A and B are shown apart, each in its own frame.
Chain A
Amino acid sequence: MRRLVQRHGDRLHALACRMLGDASLAEEVVQDVFAAMARGGATFRRDASLVTWLHAIAVNRCRSIRRRRSFAATRDAEELDITHADPADGPHDHLETQERNAKLTRAVSGLPADLREVIVLRFVGGRTYDEIAQIHGCAPGTVASRLHRALRRLADELGVSGLTRESI
């Protein structure tokens, strides 16, 4: 059981952070995920990946929190972007990476919830299209469509703000 927490806790925490923009709430989400797993282990469908199941619980928990709270999408979002220094970077590259990530965080936080979830599940959670489809209860083609729409919106927004590689 300890291995499950060690193996998946950080990623689930990162996912919840990106969905909620609040690191403290993300900690609560992760605790809830593993507590729900402990309670509901008997209901786990072995045809579904355990990891997918954990992510689905995390997504549902995040949705509940968002519904309950008046949520400023970008609140604390930028504070989440601490970048562990890439040894190949000097302090100036490190700064550029932090600024780029902060812009992305703001932009992702501003997406509609369904598009934001797909982005976070894909790029933070590392889920496949099939797994995201299971979590969202939709077809993989729908996931692909949502993901592309999200990417286009981000590209359009960030292209204006100067994030794209040509301008860095």
Chain B
Amino acid sequence: MTEHIAEHAERYWRRELEPSEMHRIEAHMAECETCRIEIESVRDVVSALVDWGNVAPKTGRDEERFIGPGPTVAASPWWRIAAVAALCVAAAAAGYGAGVSRTSGSGTSTVASTTADTTLPVFLLLLEEAAWPPSQPLARPGYREWTTELVSARRFAGARKLTEEPGIRVASDGSLVPAGPDERVQNLSGWYLIRARNYEEAIAFARRGPHLRYGSILVRQVE
């Protein structure tokens, strides 16, 4: 009985069972500690897998990598072109007319088409800090809205926050120079990669973000 009930756990957490079945499981969990633990043990991983399954893996020709040139012309994945060509030829020859039956799936949605415009050059925005250690925590307001704007404009290509320790600089002679709080060179709190038509557009996006309240932004085009 324990095994059988527990095997409903995934559909239970995703609310895909009939109400009567949901109630039956909940009633059993109220009475059986073993089953309750077994079912609850997978709750978080089910939730995480739902999110994970919605992530569109990078294609082999994805240009959002940090290193590597972007294309100058937007192109459909080559398999689409080949697949459509194959289907068209077959359809003409065989009069194939199978319809597509829509199955009831897990309710997961496809990833929205908000990928960056890969026809545009990539720019690196280094977020510099006026003071180090930072006078305010790096988890600051405003970045969410800035990222939203970049995503909506199909310009967002990545972002990472750096740790709040200053890091270490390797000098040209190989020696290590701690980047301490009195370092005159600007320290960094993170970086953004964006797509932009040119420096002017990249700078415009940099100005619209929140970071200039805390420091400066070095804008560099990625080759």
Contacts and interface: CB of A to CB of B under 8 A. Distances in A.
Contacts of A24: 60
A131 interface: yes
A151 interface: yes
Contacts, number: 225
B79 A14 contact: no
B49 A104 contact: yes
A131 B106 CA distance: 12
A17 B98 CA distance: 27
- Interface bin, chain A: 35 or more
Contacts of A2: 84, 87-88
B57 A158 contact: no
Contact of A84 (B3, B89, B151): B151
Contacts of B144: 87-90, 93
Contacts of B161: 91-92, 95
B147 interface: yes
A135 interface: no
B62 interface: yes
Interface in A97-156: 97, 100-101, 104-105, 108, 119, 122-124, 126-129, 131, 141, 144-145, 147-148, 151-152, 154-155
Interface string A35-49: 101110110101001
Contact of B147 (A28, A94, A124): A94
Interface string B61-94: 0101000000000000111101110111111001
A85 B156 contact: yes
Nearest to A2: B84
Interface of B: 3, 6-11, 41-42, 44-53, 55-60, 62, 64, 77-80, 82-84, 86-91, 94, 96, 98-108, 110-112, 114-115, 138-139, 143-144, 147-148, 150-152, 156, 158-161, 190, 192
